[in-house]
Structure 1
Protein backbone atom coordinates (compact mmCIF):
# COMPACT_ATOMS: atom_id res chain seq x y z
CA UNK A 1 0.00 0.00 0.00
CA UNK A 2 3.08 2.24 -0.14
CA UNK A 3 2.12 3.76 -3.51
CA UNK A 4 -1.55 4.21 -2.68
CA UNK A 5 -2.70 7.81 -2.57
CA UNK A 6 -6.40 7.35 -1.72
CA UNK A 7 -7.82 4.89 0.79
CA UNK A 8 -11.06 3.71 2.33
CA UNK A 9 -10.47 4.49 5.97
CA UNK A 10 -12.59 2.99 8.74
CA UNK A 11 -12.74 5.24 11.79
CA UNK A 12 -14.86 4.13 14.72
CA UNK A 13 -18.07 3.20 12.89
CA UNK A 14 -17.73 5.56 9.93
CA UNK A 15 -16.12 4.87 6.56
CA UNK A 16 -14.36 7.57 4.58
CA UNK A 17 -12.51 8.19 1.35
CA UNK A 18 -9.26 9.76 2.45
CA UNK A 19 -5.86 10.81 1.24
CA UNK A 20 -3.04 8.82 2.81
CA UNK A 21 -0.60 11.34 4.29
CA UNK A 22 1.72 9.28 6.48
CA UNK A 23 2.31 5.72 7.65
CA UNK A 24 3.92 4.65 10.89
CA UNK A 25 4.63 0.95 10.54
CA UNK A 26 6.09 0.69 14.03
CA UNK A 27 2.90 2.07 15.57
CA UNK A 28 0.65 0.31 13.04
CA UNK A 29 -1.17 3.52 12.16
CA UNK A 30 -1.64 5.94 9.29
CA UNK A 31 -2.48 9.62 9.07
CA UNK A 32 -5.31 10.32 6.63
CA UNK A 33 -7.11 13.43 5.39
CA UNK A 34 -10.87 13.01 4.93
CA UNK A 35 -12.19 13.74 1.43
CA UNK A 36 -15.65 12.12 1.48
CA UNK A 37 -18.02 10.06 3.64
CA UNK A 38 -19.03 6.56 2.53
CA UNK A 39 -20.83 5.49 5.74
CA UNK A 40 -22.04 7.82 8.47
CA UNK A 41 -20.98 6.81 12.00
CA UNK A 42 -23.46 4.84 14.08
CA UNK A 43 -25.11 6.67 16.96
CA UNK A 44 -25.08 5.41 20.54
CA UNK A 45 -22.61 3.61 22.78
CA UNK A 46 -20.00 1.68 20.79
CA UNK A 47 -19.36 -0.64 23.74
CA UNK A 48 -23.05 -1.51 24.05
CA UNK A 49 -24.32 -1.62 20.45
CA UNK A 50 -28.04 -1.23 19.90
CA UNK A 51 -28.63 -0.56 23.60
CA UNK A 52 -30.60 2.49 24.76
CA UNK A 53 -30.29 2.16 28.53
CA UNK A 54 -26.63 3.20 28.75
CA UNK A 55 -24.90 5.93 30.79
CA UNK A 56 -24.32 8.07 27.66
CA UNK A 57 -25.99 7.59 24.28
CA UNK A 58 -23.47 9.34 22.01
CA UNK A 59 -24.18 11.59 19.09
CA UNK A 60 -21.56 10.77 16.47
CA UNK A 61 -20.88 13.24 13.69
CA UNK A 62 -19.00 12.35 10.54
CA UNK A 63 -15.42 13.54 10.35
CA UNK A 64 -15.16 16.94 8.67
CA UNK A 65 -13.88 17.59 5.17
CA UNK A 66 -10.05 17.70 5.20
CA UNK A 67 -9.96 16.63 8.86
CA UNK A 68 -6.82 14.67 9.61
CA UNK A 69 -6.90 11.66 11.89
CA UNK A 70 -4.82 8.63 12.78
CA UNK A 71 -6.35 5.26 11.92
CA UNK A 72 -5.05 1.71 12.38
CA UNK A 73 -3.22 0.40 9.30
CA UNK A 74 -5.51 -2.63 9.45
CA UNK A 75 -8.50 -0.37 8.78
CA UNK A 76 -7.21 0.88 5.42
CA UNK A 77 -8.03 -0.43 1.97
CA UNK A 78 -6.88 1.03 -1.33
CA UNK A 79 -9.50 3.23 -2.99
CA UNK A 80 -9.48 3.50 -6.76
CA UNK A 81 -13.02 4.71 -7.40
CA UNK A 82 -14.30 8.14 -8.24
CA UNK A 83 -13.57 10.86 -5.70
CA UNK A 84 -16.87 12.17 -4.39
CA UNK A 85 -17.76 15.70 -3.36
CA UNK A 86 -17.66 15.85 0.44
CA UNK A 87 -21.03 17.59 0.95
CA UNK A 88 -22.78 15.30 -1.52
CA UNK A 89 -21.26 12.20 0.08
CA UNK A 90 -22.14 13.39 3.59
CA UNK A 91 -25.74 13.97 2.55
CA UNK A 92 -25.93 10.53 0.89
CA UNK A 93 -24.39 8.74 3.87
CA UNK A 94 -26.65 10.59 6.30
CA UNK A 95 -29.74 9.75 4.26
CA UNK A 96 -28.75 6.07 3.98
CA UNK A 97 -28.39 5.85 7.76
CA UNK A 98 -31.66 7.75 8.28
CA UNK A 99 -33.53 5.31 6.00
CA UNK A 100 -32.13 2.25 7.78
CA UNK A 101 -33.13 3.71 11.15
CA UNK A 102 -36.65 4.55 9.95
CA UNK A 103 -37.07 0.93 8.81
CA UNK A 104 -35.94 -0.38 12.21
CA UNK A 105 -38.76 -0.27 14.78
CA UNK A 106 -36.58 -0.50 17.88
CA UNK A 107 -36.03 1.95 20.74
CA UNK A 108 -32.37 2.09 19.74
CA UNK A 109 -33.27 3.12 16.17
CA UNK A 110 -35.61 5.86 17.42
CA UNK A 111 -32.95 7.24 19.77
CA UNK A 112 -30.31 6.99 17.02
CA UNK A 113 -32.57 8.84 14.61
CA UNK A 114 -33.00 11.60 17.18
CA UNK A 115 -29.20 11.91 17.54
CA UNK A 116 -28.72 11.79 13.77
CA UNK A 117 -31.20 14.65 13.36
CA UNK A 118 -29.12 16.67 15.83
CA UNK A 119 -26.04 16.02 13.66
CA UNK A 120 -27.89 16.93 10.50
CA UNK A 121 -28.96 20.25 11.97
CA UNK A 122 -25.26 21.14 12.27
CA UNK A 123 -24.29 20.00 8.77
CA UNK A 124 -24.41 22.61 6.03
CA UNK A 125 -26.51 20.87 3.39
Structure 2
Protein backbone atom coordinates (compact mmCIF):
# COMPACT_ATOMS: atom_id res chain seq x y z
CA UNK A 1 0.00 0.00 0.00
CA UNK A 2 1.26 3.48 -0.87
CA UNK A 3 1.02 6.57 1.30
CA UNK A 4 1.36 10.29 0.69
CA UNK A 5 4.28 11.71 2.67
CA UNK A 6 5.20 15.40 2.96
CA UNK A 7 8.87 15.94 3.74
CA UNK A 8 10.14 19.51 4.06
CA UNK A 9 8.52 21.22 1.06
CA UNK A 10 8.24 18.14 -1.17
CA UNK A 11 5.51 15.52 -1.30
CA UNK A 12 6.10 11.87 -2.16
CA UNK A 13 4.38 8.54 -2.61
CA UNK A 14 6.04 6.08 -0.24
CA UNK A 15 5.68 2.52 0.93
CA UNK A 16 6.22 1.30 4.47
CA UNK A 17 9.40 -0.72 4.96
CA UNK A 18 9.34 -1.17 8.74
CA UNK A 19 6.71 -0.29 11.33
CA UNK A 20 7.90 -0.11 14.94
CA UNK A 21 6.02 1.21 17.95
CA UNK A 22 6.74 4.90 17.47
CA UNK A 23 8.60 5.22 14.16
CA UNK A 24 7.78 4.08 10.64
CA UNK A 25 10.47 3.60 8.02
CA UNK A 26 9.23 4.53 4.54
CA UNK A 27 10.87 4.44 1.12
CA UNK A 28 10.20 6.84 -1.74
CA UNK A 29 8.70 5.42 -4.94
CA UNK A 30 7.24 8.53 -6.60
CA UNK A 31 7.48 12.34 -6.49
CA UNK A 32 4.16 14.17 -6.19
CA UNK A 33 5.48 17.70 -5.59
CA UNK A 34 9.08 18.85 -6.05
CA UNK A 35 10.61 20.72 -3.09
CA UNK A 36 10.58 24.52 -3.19
CA UNK A 37 13.86 26.26 -3.85
CA UNK A 38 15.31 29.03 -1.70
CA UNK A 39 15.23 29.80 2.00
CA UNK A 40 12.16 28.22 3.59
CA UNK A 41 12.33 30.67 6.50
CA UNK A 42 12.23 33.64 4.10
CA UNK A 43 9.97 32.47 1.26
CA UNK A 44 10.29 34.23 -2.09
CA UNK A 45 13.32 36.21 -0.89
CA UNK A 46 16.67 36.31 -2.66
CA UNK A 47 18.53 39.19 -1.02
CA UNK A 48 20.20 38.66 2.34
CA UNK A 49 19.37 34.94 2.60
CA UNK A 50 21.13 31.70 1.72
CA UNK A 51 19.26 30.48 -1.35
CA UNK A 52 19.04 26.68 -0.94
CA UNK A 53 19.02 24.30 -3.89
CA UNK A 54 16.75 21.43 -2.82
CA UNK A 55 16.72 18.06 -4.53
CA UNK A 56 13.77 15.72 -4.38
CA UNK A 57 14.25 12.63 -2.24
CA UNK A 58 15.81 9.90 -4.37
CA UNK A 59 14.19 6.73 -5.63
CA UNK A 60 14.04 4.22 -2.75
CA UNK A 61 15.48 6.78 -0.30
CA UNK A 62 14.34 5.92 3.22
CA UNK A 63 13.09 8.22 5.97
CA UNK A 64 11.71 7.67 9.45
CA UNK A 65 8.38 9.30 10.18
CA UNK A 66 5.29 8.92 12.34
CA UNK A 67 1.91 7.46 11.39
CA UNK A 68 0.28 10.89 11.65
CA UNK A 69 2.41 12.17 8.75
CA UNK A 70 1.24 9.44 6.37
CA UNK A 71 -1.93 9.97 4.37
CA UNK A 72 -3.53 7.51 1.94
CA UNK A 73 -2.11 7.87 -1.57
CA UNK A 74 -4.79 8.51 -4.14
CA UNK A 75 -3.66 8.72 -7.72
CA UNK A 76 -1.95 6.85 -10.47
CA UNK A 77 1.27 5.05 -9.70
CA UNK A 78 4.04 6.22 -12.01
CA UNK A 79 7.65 5.36 -12.59
CA UNK A 80 9.84 7.53 -10.36
CA UNK A 81 11.60 9.40 -13.18
CA UNK A 82 8.29 10.16 -14.92
CA UNK A 83 6.82 11.53 -11.69
CA UNK A 84 9.98 13.57 -11.03
CA UNK A 85 9.82 15.10 -14.52
CA UNK A 86 6.14 16.00 -14.04
CA UNK A 87 6.81 17.56 -10.64
CA UNK A 88 9.71 19.59 -12.07
CA UNK A 89 7.61 20.77 -15.02
CA UNK A 90 4.76 21.87 -12.76
CA UNK A 91 7.09 23.81 -10.47
CA UNK A 92 8.79 25.43 -13.48
CA UNK A 93 5.45 26.53 -14.95
CA UNK A 94 4.38 28.00 -11.63
CA UNK A 95 7.67 29.94 -11.38
CA UNK A 96 7.46 31.17 -14.97
CA UNK A 97 4.11 32.83 -14.27
CA UNK A 98 5.83 35.58 -12.28
CA UNK A 99 8.90 37.54 -13.32
CA UNK A 100 10.72 38.11 -10.06
CA UNK A 101 14.23 37.72 -8.69
CA UNK A 102 13.00 34.73 -6.69
CA UNK A 103 11.51 33.02 -9.75
CA UNK A 104 14.68 33.55 -11.77
CA UNK A 105 16.89 32.18 -8.97
CA UNK A 106 14.59 29.20 -8.40
CA UNK A 107 14.49 28.39 -12.13
CA UNK A 108 18.30 28.50 -12.22
CA UNK A 109 18.39 26.02 -9.32
CA UNK A 110 15.96 23.73 -11.15
CA UNK A 111 18.12 23.84 -14.29
CA UNK A 112 21.14 22.81 -12.20
CA UNK A 113 19.11 20.02 -10.59
CA UNK A 114 18.04 18.71 -14.00
CA UNK A 115 21.71 18.20 -14.87
CA UNK A 116 22.19 16.29 -11.60
CA UNK A 117 19.04 14.23 -12.13
CA UNK A 118 20.11 13.37 -15.70
CA UNK A 119 23.43 12.04 -14.37
CA UNK A 120 21.81 10.19 -11.48
CA UNK A 121 18.94 8.51 -13.31
CA UNK A 122 20.35 8.30 -16.87
CA UNK A 123 17.20 10.01 -18.20
CA UNK A 124 17.20 13.37 -20.00
CA UNK A 125 15.24 15.84 -17.86
CA UNK A 126 13.87 18.67 -19.98
- What's the TM-score, normalizing by structure 1? 0.86
Instruction: Give the whole-Å Cα distance in 2 for the aligned partners of 1:98 and 1:114.
Output: 10
Secondary structure, counterpart of 2:13 in structure 1: strand
Kindly tell me: are residues 96 and 80 of structure 1, through their superposed partners in 2, closer, same or farther at Cα, counting changes over 3 Å? closer
Q: Which has the higher contact order (CA 8 A, sep 6+)?
A: 1
Q: Which residue of 2 aligns with 1:121?
A: 115
Q: 2:14 aligns with which of 8, 13, 18?
A: 18
Q: State TM-score, norm by structure 2.
A: 0.85
Residues 18-47 of structure 1, C-alpha deviations (whole Å, 9 max, x = no match): 102234554xx4321000101000000111
RMSD of equivalent CA atoms: 1.6
Offset at residue 74 of structure 1 (A): 3.1
Deviations 1:85-118 (A, max 9, x none): 1010000000110111111112111111111111
- C-alpha distance after superposition, 1:50-81 (max 9, x if no partner): 11124410000111111111234333201143
What SS does the aligned partner of 1:123 have?
helix
Cross-structure match for 1:30: 24
Deviating above 6 A after TM superposition, structure 1's stretches of 4 or more consecutive aligned residues are none
2:64 pairs with 60, 66, 70, which one?
Answer: 70
Give unpaired runs (5+ residues) of structure 2. 119-123
